[in-house]
Amino acid sequence: MKSTNLVVIISIALFPILAISQGMSKSDRARNIVKAVNQKNAKLYVENFSDDVKVYMYGEDGKFELRVDGIEALYKNRKEHLERHTDVRNEIQHLAEIDNRLIMHDIVWLTPNRKEGSSVVEIFTFDETGKIDRVDVIQQKNLFSQEE
């Protein structure tokens, strides 16, 4: 009976550690975002972000500008984007993890008519729960004028 109790106590003690270790990695989150774009699934996309996520775009003035503030705004933004660009496709080129950040270089095709995609770099900052709470985006100035 004592050995059974010991096994139960050890199992209870190890369960939270195992649960935490089974969480999504930063790279898994990036892959999940790309999967969501390729599946045109805004709900799956936002599952990777914290409620207070902020998305900044690099501007021509050399500064980052806040474009999206909060999970509801992100969902609306992604849903509209995926509805407007029904043929959008992403491919990850590189991932680099540094501390609580992940840098992703991906190629985006807004239309199948373009042979060459456009480079986009996102720097994802993760909170203590493992979700993304900030994104800094650098993309080609003429990305959306290349849809023909």
* CA-based nearest residue to 26, from 90, 84, 88, 96: 96
Residue 5 maps to a domain: no
Residue 95 maps to a domain: yes
Q: What is the pLDDT of residue 93?
A: 98
Q: How many domains does the chain have?
A: 1
Residue 19 maps to a domain: no
In which domain, by residue range, is 114 found?
25-146
Residue 12 maps to a domain: no
Burial class of residue 106 (count of CB atoms within 10 Å of its CB; 0-12, 13-18, 19+): buried
Q: What is the pLDDT of residue 145?
A: 58
Q: What is the pLDDT of residue 116?
A: 85
Provide the CB-side half-sphere exposure for 134 (13 A, CA): 11
Residue 128 maps to a domain: yes
Residue 18 maps to a domain: no
Going residue by residue through the chain, which has 148 residues, state the pLDDT in tens, using 9 for 90 and above. 565 555 555 555 554 544 444 589 999 999 999 999 999 999 999 999 999 999 999 998 999 999 999 999 999 999 999 999 999 999 999 999 999 999 999 999 988 777 788 999 999 999 999 999 999 999 987 666 554 4
SS3 at position 121:
strand
- CATH value at residue 121: 3.10.450.50
Residue 91 maps to a domain: yes
Q: What is the pLDDT of residue 12?
A: 59
Q: What is the pLDDT of residue 19?
A: 44
Residue 3 maps to a domain: no
Q: What is the pLDDT of residue 36?
A: 97
Question: CA-to-CA distance for 2 and 6, rounded, in angstroms?
Answer: 6
